[in-house]
Each structure stands twice: as C-alpha cells, then as structure tokens.
Amino acid sequence: MDTITAESVPKLRLGVRLTFDHVREVHVLLFPEGVLVPNSTATAVLELCDGATPVSGFVTTLRSRYQGVQESEVLAVLTRFGQRRVIEWT
C-alpha cells in the first residue's frame, strides 16, 4: 500500500506474532527474519492490528487510554512497521 490513511486496515503479516517475553519482561515482535522489541507506544498500536479495525479506530481506542494521541503519529508508527514488512493492509 502506497498511502496509509485513517481508513486503512492493518494486520500482522502471516508468520508475525506479537508476544510477551516473560524472561525479559517486554513485548517482542517475532517474524521469520528476526525479532523486534517495540516500545510501549508501538506495542499499543501493534496490539490493535487485527485486520478488521481501521486506523481511525486505533486512534479512538488509543485516545481513550492515553492523552495526546495524534493520528499522524499512529500513521507514522504503522508506516515504519509496514516498511519493515511486519504488517500488511487489508
């Protein structure tokens, strides 16, 4: 997908899994080429990548949990994960 908008619907790619590493006590994103350790903000966004919720829904959910959530920042996080090929768009 070239342009990500508020209507875009992201999901984790096949073979990608967000899980909690109890040894390190952090969330990790496992994928065939490696492992990423996302920060808490990125983890909150990745947990919403269900293939059914549009980015606008992410923003609404995140705003109910945190103050100061900006749609542009959510889109930036998703763009970076898209570039890393760990999410795709339905």
User: Could you tell me the pTM of the whole model?
Assistant: 0.92
Kindly report the CATH number assigned to the domain that includes residue 41: 1.10.10.1150
List C-alpha distances in Å: 54 to 4, 7, 27, 33, 37: 10, 5, 23, 27, 24
User: Would residue 4 count as lying in a domain?
Assistant: no
Helix, strand, coil abundance in the chain, percent, nearest 5: 35, 25, 40
Range of the domain at 64: 10-84
User: Would residue 2 count as lying in a domain?
Assistant: no
pLDDT digits (tens, 9 = 90+) for 17-70: 999 999 999 999 999 989 999 999 999 999 999 999 999 999 999 999 999 999
End-to-end CA gap in the chain: 9
User: Would residue 28 count as lying in a domain?
Assistant: yes
For residue 15, give the nearest of 64, 77, 88 by alpha carbon: 88
User: Would residue 3 count as lying in a domain?
Assistant: no
User: Would residue 75 count as lying in a domain?
Assistant: yes
User: Would residue 31 count as lying in a domain?
Assistant: yes
User: How many structural domains are present in the chain?
Assistant: 1
